[in-house]
Structure 1
């Protein structure tokens, strides 16, 4: 499911004519991102032993959050909710495109924790950037949590 929606910032004013009477170009609205690339810290190891690290997660819909609540596995063990939910919104890990709860179950715990945090960031906060402060020089900057491996800057 790919969706791109054009929107205009409600506070954005349409500019009037210039001194020469020309109509200025209206600012182009930004497309709504519905898919976000990520890089797993460890990676998914498939049946042949290949390691898959890069992947794509899409924004969750209300249905994505409601359907797992009817799943018997979730009813028996509420901790399983995140496995079913993550399996619904991850569209690809490496060359693996058939993402189902069994694939998510086979991830390393650190990769599942990464995907849970990534899910929260893109669905609740709308981006994958985090503000950080350098412990040495105290300079503030943003890092993109979607890419790169652990320890890279």
Structure 2
């Protein structure tokens, strides 16, 4: 498991083998009960079981939007110094961090990577950025 460097962007370099874990930095971060902010984490690729098992959960049947919480709970393997990333952590994320993780989940499980092509608005130059890297946040 590779952790992102403190305070810096993370670039997921292509490797000869299959990448199954992707480091990320949340835009804002999860604030625990002691006030500690946790921003750096790792998400793993989802398995078929990860996507199928939550369908039987009563919370998902009652509210299909809860599927997101269960998928992220299963695939976010670390976040800061937390011992466990349970549903209560995912539910306690700021909306911008939840949206970030949803997008990261989609990118790594559908696209297979965390990079995207962008154009510079000033000069029009094309370049690649890693969307799992550090982003400025507000507290």
- TM-score, normalization: structure 1? 0.78
Q: Which has the larger radius of gyration?
A: 1
By relative contact order (CA 8 Å, sep 6+), the higher-ranking structure is 2
Q: Which residue of 2 aligns with 1:86?
A: 72
**Structure 1, gaps ≥5 residues long:** 3-28
* Alignment RMSD (CA, Å): 1.4
Matched position secondary structure for 1:53: strand
Measured in 2, the distance between the counterparts of 1:97 and 1:91 equals: 10
Give 2:98's aligned residue: 112
Report deviation, 1:74. Answer: 0.5
Q: Secondary structure at the match of 2:132?
A: coil
1:95 paired to 2:95 = no
Q: Secondary structure at the match of 2:33?
A: coil
* TM-score normalised per structure 2: 0.86
Runs of 4+ in structure 1 displaced over 4 angstroms? none
Point out where structure 2 has 5 or more consecutive residues left out of the alignment: 2-14
Shift of 1:150: 3.0
Is the CA contact 1:64–1:88 (under 8 Å) kept in the aligned structure 2? Answer: yes
What per-residue deviation string (whole Å, max 9, x for no partner) do you get for residues 23-71 of structure 1? xxxxxx8111100000000000011110000000000000000011011
